[in-house]
């Protein structure tokens, strides 16, 4: 399947990463020296190699959330920029040009929750709410406060389904 | 003030799942080792949950089945099964599973609700395919041993 957007690209890269980790696990378990030669696993105790691969898998689950969110956020802001560009259609007045200029300059600094709220007029608020939960989990992954306990967790495949659906419903 | 919820329903479901898995494993001649873990979640605080390790008849560790938490977007709980080769995730789903509305603005008619994952007809533990398909499969003995083969490359002797 070819990626349709950057969220798809991140998702597909994650799938490949999982496959690579699976191959590495098999190679370690089966002592496949042809595959392990010239890798850091060569000469490691089985358990150490296994733990390293398991940790990498956990990291991959986190990184794909960060990567998909970054791609999604760029596309979302692009959609708002495109919408604001439409203000200049026809013969815009000086005020419209000034408002557009300020929006274009400052949009990168808007709170993402506020940006998402703008889309409630065209996208189901429930989906917007789910998207905010993905963001909340993304923030926890990025800044992890272990004392506080984990917030509502979001599986990579759930995040992918939600963000892909949001992109599908964004105006072209 | 934030209210701490009770993880009791999640733990009840985990215990039911583990009782079923234990039956399947014993029927197949496999052993289990039960231990206890601590989970810390923002919504539920810190609590203890059971964890099981699946052992071959010779006592070799095949997989660990570990509760991860009750606060999961789109599910009522999560349990991971980790073997040497891979990890799979089991989700405790309500009937129908998580959904999304497929229309634009509320009130602009023709709103259709579509499930996020297909195949969640009744409440229970499900494995969701991680690829292009968004199909969820309800856990039963046959699927459990397929998943065990996936994570641990192990098939019990028939």
pLDDT in tens, B137-156: 999 999 999 999 999 988 87
> Are the beta carbons of A134 and B73 separated by less than 8 Å?
yes
> Are the beta carbons of B85 and A26 separated by less than 8 Å?
yes
pLDDT (tens digit per residue) in B72-117: 998 999 999 999 888 999 999 998 887 766 554 445 556 677 788 8
pLDDT-above-70 percentage for chain A: 98
> Are the beta carbons of A124 and B68 separated by less than 8 Å?
no
pLDDT (tens digit per residue) in B47-62: 999 999 999 999 999 9
Which two three-digit tokens encode residue B36? 């206890």
CA angle, A100 then A169 then A3, to 5°: 105
Rounded to a whole number, what is the distance in Å from the CA of A113 to chain B's nearest CA? 18
Quick one: CA dihedral A53, A59, A64, A67, positive or negative?
Answer: negative
pLDDT at A2: 54
Which two three-digit tokens encode residue B15? 């215990």
* A145 has a pLDDT exceeding 70: yes
pLDDT at A165: 92
Say what the alpha-carbon torsion angle B34, B61, B147, B130 is, to the nearest 10 degrees. Answer: 90
pLDDT at A148: 75
Which residue out of B86, B117, B147, B151 would a mutagenesis test of the A interface target, given it has the greatest number of A Cβ atoms within 10 Å? B86
Rounded to the nearest angstrom, the gap between the alpha carbon of residue B1 and the centroid of all alpha carbons in its chain is: 31
**Span of A17-26, B5-14, B18-27, B105-114 with lowest mean pLDDT:** B105-114
Which residue out of B47, B49, B66, B84 would a mutagenesis test of the A interface target, given it has the greatest number of A Cβ atoms within 10 Å? B84
> Are the beta carbons of A169 and B73 separated by less than 8 Å?
no
Chain B residues whose CB is inside 8 A of the A133 CB are 73
> Are the beta carbons of A123 and B104 separated by less than 8 Å?
yes
Cα atoms found within 13 Å of the Cα of residue A133, Cβ hemisphere only: 21
SS3 B116: coil
pLDDT at B106: 47
Count chain A–chain B contacts defined by CB atoms under 8 A.
98
What is the chain A residue with the closest CA to B73?
Answer: A154
What is the chain B residue with the closest CA to A137?
Answer: B73
What average pLDDT score do residues A59-76 get? 96
* B13 has a pLDDT exceeding 70: yes
pLDDT at B96: 84
Of B41, B105, B116, the CB nearest to A161: B116
* pTM beyond cutoff 0.90: no
> Are the beta carbons of A153 and B84 separated by less than 8 Å?
no
pLDDT (tens digit per residue) in A8-56: 999 999 999 999 999 999 999 888 888 888 888 888 888 899 999 999 9
Cα atoms found within 13 Å of the Cα of residue B32, Cβ hemisphere only: 19
pLDDT (tens digit per residue) in A102-136: 888 898 899 999 999 999 999 999 999 999 999 99
């Amino acid at each position: 399947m070819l990626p349709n957007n950057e969220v798809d690209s991140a998702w597909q890269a994650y799938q490949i990463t999982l496959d690579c980790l699976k191959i590495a696990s098999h190679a370690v378990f089966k002592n496949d020296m042809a595959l392990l030669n010239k890798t850091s696993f060569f000469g490691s105790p089985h358990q150490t190699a296994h733990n390293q691969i398991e940790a990498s898998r956990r990291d991959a689950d986190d990184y794909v959330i960060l990567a998909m969110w970054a791609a999604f956020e760029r596309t979302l802001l692009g959609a708002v920029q495109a919408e604001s560009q439409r203000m200049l259609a026809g013969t815009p007045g000086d005020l419209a040009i000034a408002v557009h200029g300020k929006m274009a300059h400052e949009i990168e600094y808007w709170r993402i929750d506020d940006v998402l709220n703008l889309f409630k007029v065209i996208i189901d608020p429930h989906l917007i709410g789910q998207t905010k939960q993905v963001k909340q989990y993304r923030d926890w992954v990025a800044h992890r406060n272990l004392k506080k306990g984990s917030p509502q967790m979001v599986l990579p495949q759930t995040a992918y389904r939600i963000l892909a659906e949001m992109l599908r419903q964004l105006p072209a | 003030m934030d209210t701490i919820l009770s993880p009791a329903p999640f733990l009840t479901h985990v215990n039911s799942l583990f009782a079923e898995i234990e039956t399947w494993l014993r029927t197949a001649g496999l052993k289990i080792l039960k231990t206890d873990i601590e989970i810390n979640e923002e919504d539920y605080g810190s609590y203890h949950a059971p964890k099981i390790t699946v052992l071959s008849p010779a006592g070799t560790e095949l997989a660990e089945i570990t509760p991860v938490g009750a606060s999961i977007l789109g599910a009522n709980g999560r349990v991971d099964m980790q073997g040497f080769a891979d990890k799979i995730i089991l989700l405790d789903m309500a009937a129908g599973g998580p959904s999304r509305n497929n229309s634009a603005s509320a009130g602009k008619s023709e709103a259709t609700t579509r499930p996020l994952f297909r195949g969640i007809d009744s409440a229970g533990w499900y494995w969701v395919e991680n690829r292009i398909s968004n199909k969820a499969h309800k856990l039963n003995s046959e699927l459990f041993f397929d998943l065990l083969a996936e994570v641990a490359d192990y098939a019990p002797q028939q």
